[in-house]
Amino acid sequence: MRIDLITVFPEWFDSVVNLGVVGRAVRAQQVQVKCWNPRDYTLDRHRTVDDRPYGGGPGMVMMTAPLSAAIADARADGAPAKVAYMSPQGRRFDQQAAQHMAKQDRIILLCGRYEGIDERLIDSEVDEEWSIGDYVLSGGEPAAAVMLDAIVRLLPGVLGDERSAVQDSFMDGLLDCPHYTRPEVYAQQSVPAVLLSGHHGEIERWRLKQALGRTYLRRPDLLEQRGMSPAEEKLLAEFLADTDHHQE
């Protein structure tokens, strides 16, 4: 996959593309990441990309010309791609969206700054708008980094063990179960005995029970959306009895 970033702070992505899972995927050429800086498409000495808003008011607005030139070069540099604008007004990004994007050959992520981008550029160049949550960031870069990370870890072969992504929260409409590693006893708390039993069937059953229980307690909305099989309903009832919670 190829991910292009339109950003006035390409250095913002240095650690994103060098470290951890994404860094490994970049080195293994499972994903290519390329930045395009709108400042490289300015003609003035100060490399100006913003100007005062028409109608007055605080802040600055990103101008159309440097952005459209950067987007045009990005578009021309490979397979056709949608331009996604990082925006608090966009559709909420979630695991389903990440899964969908991970199936695309290419995507261009447009990072705004200041008060945002001249609306005419959005109207003419942007195919979709994505928000990472109901709060306002000072730039689209952190949002693009979040989306990039969530997408790249889903690309085939990127995670060492394909099962890791499948077991993650939201993949099956549930939150993930709790995890434990050595030592067996920490601060007088033991690892649940079933995880040491070597019984794969029992371990799977325990994990599903914990995932159902956690989702019920922390995100009942997810469980309602997903539904449960009769066997899962029984497991959840067991979880609630074990943990002294009562089903509503």
Binding site for ligand SAM (CB under 6 A): 86-89, 111-113, 115-117, 131-133, 135-140, 143
Q: What secondary structure letter does DSSP report for 8?
A: S
User: Which CB sits closer to ligand SAM, 8 or 223?
Assistant: 8
In the complex, minimum distance from the CB of residue 131 to ligand SAM, in angstroms, rounded to a whole number? 4
168 is catalytic: yes
Residues 6+ apart with CB under 8 A from 68: 121, 124, 125
Within 8 A by CB and 6+ apart from 145, the residues are 12, 13, 16
Q: For residues 174 and 38, what is the distance between their CA atoms, to the nearest angstrom? A: 41
Q: Which of 10, 39, 47, 88 is catalytic?
A: 88
Known catalytic residue: 115?
A: yes
- SS3 sequence of 12-48: HHHHHHHCHHHHHHHHCCCCEEEEECHHHHCCCCCCC
Active site includes 134?
no
CA distance 53 to 242: 60
Between 140 and 173, CB nearer to ligand SAM: 140
**Closer residue to ligand SAM in complex, CB, 113/153:** 113
Among 62, 37, 47, 55, CA closest to 121:
62
Contact 147, 132 (CB under 8 A): yes
Active site residue 105: no
CB of 49 to ligand SAM, least distance (A): 12
Cβ 132 to ligand SAM, closest distance in Å? 4
The total of other beta-carbon atoms located within 10 Å of residue 152's CB is 27
- 120 or 199: whose CB is closer to ligand SAM? 120
38, 113, 141, 153: which is the annotated catalytic residue? 153
Shortest distance (Å) from residue 70 CB to ligand SAM: 14
**Residue in the structure block whose two tokens are 């409409």:** 173
The nearest distance, CB 235 to ligand SAM, in angstroms, is 36
Instruction: Give whichever of 66 and 112 is closer to ligand SAM, judged by the CB atom.
Output: 112
Give the residue at shortest CB distance from ligand SAM: 112
Catalytic-role residue among 40, 73, 115, 176: 115
Strand partners, 86: 130
Catalytic residue positions, numbered? 88, 115, 153, 168
